[in-house]
Amino acid sequence: SYELTQPPSVSVSPGQTARITCSADALPKQYGSWYQQKSGQAPVMVIYKDSERPSGIPERFSGSSSGTTVTLTISGVQAEDEADYYCQSTDSRGTNVVFGGGTKLTVL
């Protein structure tokens, strides 16, 4: 089965840059999306199609892709960015939607 692997946790100080990676276990890699989930709330999409930002999402959120890895970058991290972040893609046939295991971002 298709899997996406994320680091369990990332910690950064306010104002620093946070990078969260998501590695797919097979090619071809499909487009990736990223979601922010704060405690007790529903997820919110912050990046789609590897690097596109939905309206209303701050510019400090950006995405990139290289090989089988997509990366979420949060520049100038703020305390309000502390949350769980999930990557998501589909298998090569587009049949199954897959989420990564999630990364807890801690703002020190």
Partner 1 sequence: EVQLVESGGGLVKPGGSLRLSCAASGFTFSNAWMNWVRQAPGKGLAWVARIKSKPSGGTTDYAAPVKGRFTISRDDSKNTVYLQMSSLKSEDTAVYYCATGGGINGVDIWGQGTTVTVSS
By C-beta, is 31 or 73 nearer to partner 1?
Answer: 31
Q: How far is the CB of 63 from partner 1 (least distance, A)?
A: 11
Q: How far is CA 89 from CA 49, 58, 65, 71, in A?
A: 9, 22, 12, 13
8 upstream amide cis, omega within 30 of 0: no
Contact 75, 62 (CB under 8 A): yes
Q: How far is C-alpha 34 from the geometric centre of its chain's CA atoms?
A: 4
Q: How far is the CB of 13 from partner 1 (least distance, A)?
A: 26
Q: How far is the CB of 82 from partner 1 (least distance, A)?
A: 17
Q: Which residue has the tokens 């999409």?
A: 45
By C-beta, is 16 or 25 nearer to partner 1?
Answer: 25
By C-beta, is 43 or 58 nearer to partner 1?
Answer: 43
Chain contacts with partner 1 (rule: CB under 8 A): 1, 30-31, 33, 35, 37, 42-45, 48-49, 54, 84, 86, 88, 90, 94-102
